Amino acid sequence: MSDDIENPLEREEQAIVLRYLEQATPAQWHLSAARSNDDGNRYTLEWLTDTVETRRPVPEAMYAIVPGSEWVGLDDDAYDEGLPMDVAERIEALYDDAASRASSILSTRAKAGHKPRTTGAWTVVQWGH
């Protein structure tokens, strides 16, 4: 994982994904790379390309189905954007928890008399009275 990820939630998300990939099978790596959202997924894809098992040339013969080949289905309902549902759910819970904490803070501030001010699509919280 790179130290240049500034957002702590994104850093934790990356850690969850990398812990999964470290124990995943090559077929799961393939599914993760093929189905993942490449927006914000740079470090996952870099990890996959830097892994020894994935750094070999792909001879043309490897594209043919032969005895012993493993078929990797890309439309598996047990996966979300290339990650098993339990991993995807941990990431979703990470963001849900952060949103819940932020909502709780805003609610506490509102009860104390601090009123958010809305400007267009943004809500600005004024911490003073």
Distance CA(26)–CA(101), nearest Å, equals 37
Note the pLDDT of residue 2.
59
Q: What is the pLDDT of residues 47-79, one digit of tens each?
A: 888 876 665 655 454 455 555 666 666 667 777
Note the pLDDT of residue 16.
93
Distance CA(11)–CA(94), nearest Å, equals 11
pLDDT category of residue 35 using cuts at 50, 70 and 90: confident
Locate the domains of the chain by residue range: 8-125
Distance CA(21)–CA(23), nearest Å, equals 5
